[in-house]
A = this chain, B = another copy of it.
């Protein structure tokens, strides 16, 4: 899905810190940075990345999310990476033998937003590609977050997990309407315009042979046709378009009549 408006400055909200713990592939760090940027997250922290830091592979995958990588902080230990945070959730797909609530991503971002609203500093912990987070990392967190997925195929890539949590974070704070009519400023047709369309169409059908020999059925047929257009939620512009279509079709019929068909 292309469509970035390059004239707009990326909005970086005061969202959760993203902590990648022992990530392996630079590509996934870069893709995570890009996912963060997609959803307005900017504070990336890395704990002991396998291939060191900075990592050219990360930059290659980050696209225009370079600023996230430029500002990424490096730590040796998870404890230090989250030291200034108040509420931290650990993303994990595994059920662990640990007493720790497991939240859906949607519930997790609701809790994070509530905490941020009380000026708490918030974060999300993601484990490395091979085995996820250690129990020692999870125990530092307030709860676990698990993405609901196909039980037989639930393995989700590191950057995809960042993407899904970022998406939930952004969506929870988004004022994008559920449904945008995208009517280009055109208003819905009013009943007068609709009735005008119906009567125009029916007059042309009367002028032709549409109702010939079925006059008794005419009222029901008219109702059916009216319902077809009634269902279509026509805009005022649509009514004008359709009246033009009717006029053109009726005109061709007139021509054919005149040419003796």
Contacts and interface: CB of A to CB of B under 8 A. Distances in A.
Nearest to A184: B99
Contacts of A103: 178-180
Nearest to A11: B150
B4 A95 contact: no
Interface string A162-187: 01100100110010111111111010
A102 interface: yes
Interface string A138-181: 00000110111111111111101101100100110010111111
Contacts of A174: 148
Interface of A: 1-6, 8-11, 35, 37-40, 63-65, 91-104, 106-107, 126-127, 130-132, 143-144, 146-158, 160-161, 163-164, 167, 170-171, 174, 176-184, 186, 235, 237-238
Contacts of A176: 104, 146, 148
Contacts of A38: 149-150, 153-156
Contacts of A170: 148-150
Contacts of A3: 92-94, 132, 154-155
B148 A178 contact: no
15 contacts: A1-B93, A1-B127, A2-B94, A2-B155, A3-B94, A4-B154, A35-B160, A39-B149, A95-B182, A101-B179, A102-B179, A106-B171, A106-B178, A148-B170, A148-B174
A4 B10 CA distance: 35
A60 to B, nearest CB: 14
Nearest to A156: B1
Contacts of A238: 99
